[in-house]
A and B are shown apart, each in its own frame.
Chain A
């Protein structure tokens, strides 16, 4: 049977001596070399420079900028589709392109009535 009082004393003694070893290790820690410190510092500077350097645009990004961004791309696509349609439907009469612009009711408005034009011409001749 163990003598617990004795064991506790031994444990305390052991812990004290272990703590002395820890203290010795704390007072003589492994130190990084100057070369390692220099490498760490160089890495810091490299990262800093990379962050500061402007990001170079790709060719696509530069083309996009020239045509006015994605809005420009939309306009170009619309124009290309219209060109294709006109090309395929080349035999359609040009007035067909204006379909829907004319008044569908067939009514017309005379901006210069024919009778008044005739009267004006008659008067000038007379």
Chain B
């Protein structure tokens, strides 16, 4: 936790330096925060090109608000997670509005996902399975289990209470297991 606090201090200090016109601070912030926003965007959208657009927009907002950043408020990384998650949500809503019929419906057993699990590496299969989760559950599972954030921090990002986060994570994990249902043996479902 102390390490996290030091990391956050560093982000806030770098942002303050960037706000005063320090290009080196911009380089360091780019290296520290772009991967974070990209991971979340790819896992939320399941599409690298769209994730890149989200990251560019989120980071542009970071650069623009740098001169107004007040230390002691939200953590820089929390702020960025929140912006990235909201941008992803907007895109997912637009997707639903534009091509509702094109969204693949999850089927019993999800053979596509399970085949990928066998053929490709497990991380890729998990990320494919994540796309079958309802949007809010996916956000909560990604932030909790892949980004390693605490429930209060996830609550801050998603603008909900800690109990609601716990509920979303629990339901998300159950949905994830269901989406990975084809891998019964791998997930210990052989006795059900």
Contact = CB atoms under 8 A, between A and B. Distances in A.
B138 interface: no
A25 to B, nearest CB: 4
A6 B189 CA distance: 12
A37 B30 contact: yes
Contacts of B188: 10, 13-14, 16-17
A56 interface: no
Interface in A60-113: none
Contacts of B192: 10
Interface in B132-179: 145-146, 148, 173, 176-177
Contacts of A25: 122-123, 126-127, 146
Nearest to A41: B30
Contacts of B5: none
Interface residues of A, number: 34
Max count, chain B CB within 10 A of own CB: residue among A22, A40, A44, A48? A40
Interface stretch (B58-66, B81-89, B100-108): B58-66
B76 interface: no
A29 B60 CA distance: 23
B21 to A, nearest CB: 6
B30 A27 contact: no
A67 B123 CA distance: 70
A30 B177 contact: no
Interface of A: 6, 10, 13-22, 24-33, 36-37, 39-41, 43-45, 47-48, 51-52
Interface of B: 18, 21, 23, 26-27, 29-31, 34-35, 38-39, 42-43, 48, 51-52, 55-56, 59-60, 63-64, 66-67, 121-123, 125-127, 145-146, 148, 173, 176-177, 180, 186-189, 191-192
Given A10-B188, A29-B146, 16 more contacts: A6-B191, A22-B146, A24-B121, A24-B122, A24-B126, A25-B126, A25-B146, A26-B148, A27-B123, A30-B38, A32-B34, A36-B52, A37-B30, A39-B56, A40-B30, A45-B26
